Amino acid sequence: MSTEDRENILSDEEVRKLVLARLSILSPDTIVSLGADGSFTRDQLLDSVEQGDSVGNKIAQIQMQWLQSFKEGMYL
Amino acid sequence: MRMIVTRPQHDVTTRYLSAWAQEIIERARQKGFEVVDLIKEKSTRSEFEGRMKKLAPELVFLNGHGSDDCVCGQDNEILLQKGENHNLLSRAITYALSCDSARGLGPAAVEGRTGSYIGYTDEFIFMADAQYMREPLEDPKARPFMESSNQVMHSLLKGHTPEQASQRSKGVFRKKFTHLSSSVTDPDALQAAQFLWWNMRHQVCL
């Protein structure tokens, strides 16, 4: 995705806020398996997104591609 | 017909994949397949290589962690490595329920060969419930992910082509996605739907 495309959707900070909002409503018992990166609780994911580590960046990347797919009209 | 299944069990992810692979093994045996089940400590490179050479299976079902160029077994021992032993898959239909391996290992395994490789070009993500860690098959949060994935193997066992099996799996992903997207009561539903979409988007048939 080009920088221009990213700017036409949302900034990194806006994506991060969206991701945090979505994750924050998950059940506290929810576990997310991210392959070899491991399995994470809701609170661990929130920390990762806040800190911008590799796991947090992965979740943000998924969110960004999700939004991009709507723009391209190919989400399904 | 012969099938080899690898299913390490050393962390949450592999325990879930292993548990959900059991129904595929049972279905295959019902259909008369000779199944070699490389579970837990049997999921080693030497065991896998030996069985592959001896059995020459038509179907290979890999469950475990992976990366662009490899798929792992118990305790993340590398079972298949691009450039080393990927030729073992050259005549088989392989489904790798593993992250990323359809980027490098998969293409190498089927290049110029008769086999097919269904896998993922990025991470396979699923959700689970901490209250079901000891009962993965009962976990309602994991079910949509595992049923969508298992459709690949169910279709192959019915005799569908690899391309058809992948398309049918994506159809189940899509159905689960639509169901979760319309939920107004489940706080996890929208995030689960997004992860289903991610898996569907990154499943490929080579």
Interface residues on B facing A, Cβ-Cβ cutoff 8 A: 11-13, 16, 65-67, 76, 98-100, 123-131, 133, 141, 174, 177, 187-188, 190-191, 194-195, 197-198, 201
CA distance A67 to A60: 11
Question: How far does chain B reach from its first CA to its final CA, in angstroms?
Answer: 22
Residue B169: predicted pLDDT: 98
* pLDDT, tens only, A15-39: 888 889 989 999 999 999 998 899 9
Read off the pLDDT band of A4 (50, 70, 90). low
Distance CA B182, CA A20 (A): 21
Mean pLDDT of all residues in B146-165: 98
- Predicted confidence band at A6 (pLDDT cuts at 50, 70, 90)? low
Are B125 and A35 an interchain contact pair (Cβ–Cβ within 8 Å)? Answer: yes
**Percent of residues, chain A, with pLDDT higher than 70:** 83
* Residues of B with Cβ-Cβ distance to A33 under 8 angstroms: 12-13, 16, 125-128
Identity of the amino acid at B8? P
- Residue A1's pLDDT is 53
Which residues in chain A touch residue B197, judged by CB atoms under 8 angstroms apart? 66, 69, 75-76
pLDDT tens by residue, B123-146: 999 999 999 999 999 999 999 999
Closest-CA distance, B126 to chain A, in angstroms, reads: 5
Nearest to A29 among B131, B191, B195 (CB): B131
- At A9, the pLDDT band (50, 70, 90 cuts) reads low
CB distance B130–A76 less than 8 Å? no
Q: Average pLDDT, stretch A29-50?
A: 94
Distance of alpha carbon B165 from alpha carbon B155, whole angstroms: 5
pLDDT exceeding 90 applies to what percent of chain A? 50
The residue written with tokens 């209250």 in the block is B131
For residue A3, pLDDT over 60 is answered with no
Give start and end residues of each alpha helix (H) in B31-142. Answer: 45-55, 105-110
List, for residues B16-45, the tens digit of each pLDDT value.
Answer: 999 999 999 999 999 999 999 999 999 999
Which chain B residues are Cβ-neighbours of A42 within 8 angstroms?
A: none
Closest CA to B123 of A47, A68, A70, A62: A62
Q: Is the pLDDT of residue A76 over 80?
A: no
* pLDDT above 80 (res A64): yes
Q: Are strands B78-81 and B93-97 parallel, antiparallel or unpaired?
A: unpaired
